[in-house]
A and B are shown apart, each in its own frame.
Chain A
Amino acid sequence: MSLTREQIENIAHLARLELQPHEVPVYQESLSRILDLVGELDRADTASVAPMAHPLPGLSQRLRADAITEQDHHELYQQNAPQVAAGLYLVPKVIE
């Protein structure tokens, strides 16, 4: 399977990754080869197999009561934020 330059650029856009022009052919080649590798899955007959939902048989996602269990730590957490004002995260203007 061979991916085009446009496909790589589209995937990078969907993944919100800016690529340098020289990176595009590198990913074109390696992603194409990875898709060849995973193409081996077609060899398996899975017509009557249910997809695995959880690594441990019989277990599913646990639910908890819809109750408040956390305290407000926003000041502590925002110490790691690149830009904050008045307790809010700042980003470039979105709405004109």
Chain B
Amino acid sequence: MSNGIHRKTLAQLAAGLRAKEFSSAELTRLYLDRIEASQPALNAFISVTRDQAMAAAEAADRDLAAARGGRLAGVPIAHKDIFCTAGVKTTCGSRMLDNFVSPYDATLVAKLKAAGVVMLGKANMDEFAMGSSNETSFYGPVRNPWNTDLVPGGSSGGSAAAVAARLAPAATATDTGGSIRQPAALCGVTGLKPTYGRVSRYGMIAFASSLDQGGIITATAEDAALILREMAGFDANDSTSVDTPVPDYAASLDAPLAGLKIGLLKEFFDKGLDPENERRIREALATYEKLGASLREVSLPNLPLSVPAYYVVAPAECSSNLARFDGVRFGHRCKDPRDLLDLYKRSRGEGFGAEVKRRIMTGTYVLSAGYYDAYYLKAQKVRQLITTDFTRAFGEVDVLMGPTTPTTAFAIGAKTSDPITMYLNDIYTIGANLAGLPAMSIPCGFVQGLPVGLQLVGPHFSEAKLLNVAHLYQRETEWHSRVPERYA
């Protein structure tokens, strides 16, 4: 198939399929070949589902020939291996689920299937989405396509690396403390974490239920809009799914930005922010001024407590959610258990990796008798303070902006020995999760050949505005269309 097709955006691919410029089978084979060729260098996938993908592509081609099918008929994408996919191994990056074949589709997967997308495979990730570098995966680290000595970020590192290297035009992802935005920033792609409750969590393997949110990694904001409009919406199978209409996110992408009030998050421009990264962020803000937006500094005084609040709430909920992995109904079971307690302890001790055990134990401790008030209750109060800070800020401005990460991508192995240093990587992203807010990261330049991400945070259910704000920046700039030389 002709060169350069993989450089097209998802929007262009969907249009090309409709116009019969190429078939879904051709497109799907092209991406499958790119994935397989990249695996030794990047390890972005845990499973490549070639046979199912080709069958789905051929079915999509029949739909397209008959002018039937969903709005994304025939478009190939990757799913993060946290989403259950019927009949396909779903591991969540863990030895615990190395033998788990999901009996059902996650709602997000089913909705995208109904829209016509073709699944290429399951993207690598940090084990149970616990990590910021994709180094905790049982299936080995993912490498950054811009420099394979570096991490892609995490936990959706496989999804971000896949889109950055154009192994897929889009990949689903999840964000509990920054797991969509941080890898999107470090890999130079667009990441969208929707409002809590906007996308169903049914069939998305749970980490921290009050923070987890499914979303998407794409090359452009327009592509993210096309996917979000298919996967968002109410689901009776998720008790925290919100029953509000899904707007047509693609319809408002070009609304002018004149009069837009942008708040600069004062707490994000701190001493931890690399000065070169800050320069790229300031340049992006200047572009927004040119587009008619006004800037003002906004302070969220409780935001610096995001990381400590998160490292109570997330491990507490994780210890509860991961109690289901007991070696009885599914997942890893130890050999020759002496008794039931031994079965539980060894199955879990063998099935979980070091970081997952650390989070489970942290959560068990903060929830144990006598400590609940001091830790979990206190953290939920601080979470309320942080949320109130955001609400106050959105009384003054339409969108908040700042860096997604303090630095560009770091070396594989550089932060694995010290979990606290790793946790601080998410210092700018965790706030949006604690408050349930939608947020994006978009590429805004490079420092020494490595991508920098600009973060956008909006009020609840403001995805259409965020996508509009991101899209107009991408019309003015070309950072989002840069591809690492080896994958160009």
Inter-subunit contact A38/B311 (CB<8 Å): yes
Inter-subunit contact A40/B384 (CB<8 Å): no
Inter-subunit contact B364/A92 (CB<8 Å): no
- A86 interface residue (CB < 8 Å to B): no
Measured CB to CB, the closest approach of chain A to B401, in angstroms, equals 22
Inter-subunit contact B197/A56 (CB<8 Å): yes
- A68 interface residue (CB < 8 Å to B): no
Given pairs A11-B364, A40-B308, 4 additional interface contacts (CB within 8 A):
A15-B319, A30-B420, A56-B242, A82-B330
Measured CB to CB, the closest approach of chain B to A51, in angstroms, equals 4
Inter-subunit contact B420/A17 (CB<8 Å): no
Interface residues on B, range: 35 or more
A83 proximity list for chain B (CB < 8 A): 333
Find residues 349-402 in chain B having any chain A CB closer than 8 Å to their own CB. Answer: 349-350, 352, 354, 357-358, 360-362, 364-366, 368, 375, 377-385, 387, 391
A30 proximity list for chain B (CB < 8 A): 358, 419-420
B101 proximity list for chain A (CB < 8 A): 79-80
Inter-subunit contact B352/A51 (CB<8 Å): no
Q: Look across to chain B and name the residue whose beta carbon is closest to the beta carbon of A84.
A: B329
Find residues 210-253 in chain B having any chain A CB closer than 8 Å to their own CB. Answer: 210-211, 236, 239-240, 242
B328 proximity list for chain A (CB < 8 A): 81-82, 89, 91
- B64 interface residue (CB < 8 Å to A): no
Q: Look across to chain A and name the residue whose beta carbon is closest to the beta carbon of B423.
A: A37
- B-binding residues in A (CB < 8 A): 3, 8, 11-20, 23, 26-27, 30-31, 33-35, 37-44, 46, 49-57, 59, 61-62, 64, 73, 76-83, 89, 91-94
A17 proximity list for chain B (CB < 8 A): 345, 348-349, 352, 357, 360-361
B195 proximity list for chain A (CB < 8 A): 56
- B73 interface residue (CB < 8 Å to A): no
Which of B3-11, B286-294, B335-343 contacts the other chain?
B335-343
Inter-subunit contact A49/B384 (CB<8 Å): yes
- B272 interface residue (CB < 8 Å to A): no
B348: which of A16, A55, A93 is its contact (CB, 8 Å)?
A16
Q: Look across to chain A and name the residue whose beta carbon is closest to the beta carbon of B211.
A: A55
- B326 interface residue (CB < 8 Å to A): yes
| A15-B361 contact given A51-B377, A52-B383, A83-B333, CB 8 Å threshold | yes
- B409 interface residue (CB < 8 Å to A): no
